[in-house]
Structure 1
Amino acid sequence: MRLSQDAFAPYGSVLRRGDPVRVNDGFATRSDALADLACSDPSARLCLSLFDVGVRPAFIVISELERHPYSAQVFLPVSPCRALVVVAGTTAEGDVDLDTMAAFIAAPGDGILYAPGVWHLGLTSLDRAGQFQMATWSGDLPDTQIRRLDRPFTIDGSASSVLAPEPDESAAR
């Protein structure tokens, strides 16, 4: 589904840059995307990274998700590409809540803010290589957790619309 603020609200925020403003004596333009970058690790410092993202194959197998329980994470596009955004909530036990799993297509200018604790697929481009500026917090607490899914899901990146579980090979036996 197309990424929208309302549909993505349970998982974080969609960031879109505002109108450009001339700055630096007219020699530059600035477009802001405001975000609440939450963090519950008092030792954390802001970490800025640049991600160079390649295009995944047309059929994208999702076998694991990651989350950051103590900090939000923001991705802002530097070069345009359509991004696949797969998210899920967290169960009371801290695992991936498959009942809340959702897939979105981010337009080339869309930024993503994952709320703390939201399970998500690593950054994924659907149509061309892209660059993203990432901002998160980095501190003493272990803030990256990865979970392998019991049953992988496949998304047809060429259709970019369907989230379907992989066939259960054990059922065929």
Structure 2
Amino acid sequence: MIVAQPLTADAFSAFGDVIELTDRDSLTINDGMCQRHHDLAHLDFSDGKAGISLFDGKARQFPYSLDLVERHPFGSQAFIPMNNVPLLITVCPDENGHPGTPQAFLARADQAVNLHRGTWHGVLAPIGAQGLYAVVDRIGAGSNLEEVRFEKPYRISAPNSTNQK
């Protein structure tokens, strides 16, 4: 059993960026009426262009069964929540071109993530309700998707104490 951990920038750094409000690289704009939290993710595309899509995902529950992971070799992929629904993020280290043992993180409804190019990750998994996400990723020629289905699914449980806002 894999226990989902609260999403933190340090714990997730090997797989991507956590996009959330911080004082890092923050500046005041719009005549003092807006705080810009600047350049929070490293978008990385081998070619093509950045595109914005909407993903409308069906609700998932704990315990969650992880049986499929994918990766995108030509570009990073950012998931930005639009309707206040937490997101289960599962990622795997790469082991010689194959996904290793999964790790699971539970993103609060006010956190977004940017997965590094080539990071093995589970499919969209909004927790508790249907989730709408803006997705920033590579649009271009060629197949930017590799999938692996696990012979035996991993079971993921909720964190002992979720830090939901």
TM-score by length of 2: 0.81
**What amino acid is aligned across from residue 52 of structure 2 in structure 1?**
L
Which of 14-23 and 136-145 deviates more? 14-23
Is the CA contact (8 Å cut-off) linking 2:29 and 2:36 kept in structure 1? no
Partner of 2:44: 38
Residue-pair matches, total: 152
Unmatched 5+ stretches in structure 1: 163-173
Q: How is 1:45-124 mapped onto 2 (pairs within 5 angstroms)?
A: 45-92=49-96, 94-98=97-101, 101-124=102-125
Partner of 2:18: 14
Per-residue deviation, 1:139: 1.5
Unmatched 5+ stretches in structure 2: 161-165
CA RMSD of aligned residues (A): 2.3
Q: Relative contact order, CA 8 A, sep 6+: which one is greater? A: 2
Query: Residues 90-117 of structure 1: CA distance to partner in whole angstroms, max 9, x if unpaired?
Result: 122x11122xx21011011101010011
User: Larger C-alpha radius of gyration, 1 or 2?
Assistant: 1
Alpha-carbon separation, structure 1, partners of 2:34 and 2:122: 32
Per-residue deviation, 1:20: 9.3
Is the CA contact (8 Å cut-off) linking 1:15 and 1:33 kept in structure 2? no
List 4+ stretches of structure 1 deviating above 3 A. 17-23, 28-33
Partner of 1:125: 126
Cα 1:33/1:74, change in 2 over 3 Å: farther
Q: Secondary structure at the match of 1:85?
A: strand
